[in-house]
A and B are shown apart, each in its own frame.
Chain A
Amino acid sequence: SQKIEQNSEALNIQEGKTATLTCNYTNYSPAYLQWYRQDPGRGPVFLLLIRENEKEKRKERLKVTFDTTLKQSLFHITASQPADSATYLCALDMGPGAGNMLTFGGGTRLMVKP
Chain B
Amino acid sequence: NAGVTQTPKFQVLKTGQSMTLQCAQDMNHEYMSWYRQDPGMGLRLIHYSVGAGITDQGEVPNGYNVSRSTTEDFPLRLLSAAPSQTSVYFCASRQGAGSNQPQHFGDGTRLSIL
Give the B-binding residues of A (Cβ under 8 A).
Answer: 1, 4, 8, 30-32, 34, 36, 41-46, 49, 51, 89, 91-94, 98-107
Contacts and interface: CB of A to CB of B under 8 A. Distances in A.
Contacts, number: 74
A101 B104 contact: no
B107 A42 contact: yes
A43 B105 contact: yes
A111 to B, nearest CB: 17
Interface of B: 4, 31, 33, 35, 40-45, 48, 50, 56, 58-59, 90, 92, 97-100, 102-108
- Those 5 A-B pairs whose CB atoms lie nearest each other, nearest first: A93-B99, A43-B105, A46-B102, A104-B43, A106-B42
A107 B38 CA distance: 11
Contacts of B43: 44, 89, 91, 103-104
Contact of A101 (B48, B90, B107, B108): B48
From A4, A98, A99, name the one whose CB has the most chain B CB atoms within 10 angstroms: A99
A27 to B, nearest CB: 14
B107 A99 contact: no
B108 A100 contact: no
B56 A99 contact: yes
A8 B97 CA distance: 30
A100 B48 CA distance: 10
Nearest to A45: B105
A107 to B, nearest CB: 7
Contact of A104 (B42, B48, B97): B42
Contacts of A43: 4, 90, 92, 105-108
A63 to B, nearest CB: 18
B107 A100 contact: no
A4 B42 contact: yes
B42 A44 contact: no
Nearest to B4: A43
Given A89-B42, A99-B50, A101-B45, A46 B100 contact: no
